[in-house]
């Protein structure tokens, strides 16, 4: 029996990985499985663990928006703009600005 990607990622986390991509990938798997609350919780945890990990912010904003949590989405996207700017990540900066601008007021 083969293990799912989610199981493999959970195993890596249980073993103590500090690689932010593992936590990010786990949230992506949860999102793909439709477990949006768990995905957002994972992204919130990732933000606390590694606040400089730029990909967290757009994904969390999108998940929060899908859940109907516009204020949470705005918070993630606005914070992500600052993180992307500090990292010099112009592509992420552009994507985060576009996502923030697209949110309904």
What are the domain boundaries of the chain? 5-102
* pTM of the model as a whole: 0.92
Helix (H) or strand (E) holding 74, with range, is helix 70-87
Distance, in Å, from the CA atom of 23 to the CA atom of 102, rounded to the nearest integer, reads 27
Instruction: Tell me the per-residue pLDDT of 24-72, one tens digit each, with 9 for 90 and over.
Output: 999 999 999 999 999 999 999 999 999 999 999 999 999 999 999 999 9
Q: Residue 39 has what pLDDT? A: 98
- CATH classification of 5-102 is 1.25.40.10, yes or no? yes
Kindly provide the b/e burial profile for residues 66-99, where b requires at least 16 CB atoms within 10 angstroms of the residue's own CB. Answer: eeebeebbbbbbebbbebbeeeebeebbebbeeb
Q: Residue 2 has what pLDDT? A: 61
Collect all residues with Cβ–Cβ distance below 8 Å to 58 and sequence separation of at least 6: 76, 77, 80, 92, 95, 96, 99
């Amino acid at each position: 029996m083969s293990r799912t990607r989610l199981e493999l990622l959970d195993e890596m986390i249980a073993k103590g990985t500090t690689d932010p991509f593992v936590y990010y990938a786990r949230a992506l798997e949860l999102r793909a499985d439709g477990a949006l609350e768990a995905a957002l919780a994972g992204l919130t945890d990732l933000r606390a663990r590694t606040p400089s990990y730029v990909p967290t912010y757009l994904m969390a904003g999108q998940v929060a928006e899908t859940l109907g949590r516009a204020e949470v989405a705005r918070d993630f996207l606005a914070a992500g703009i600052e993180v992307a700017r500090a990292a010099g990540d112009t592509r992420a900066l552009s994507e985060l600005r576009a996502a923030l601008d697209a949110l309904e007021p």
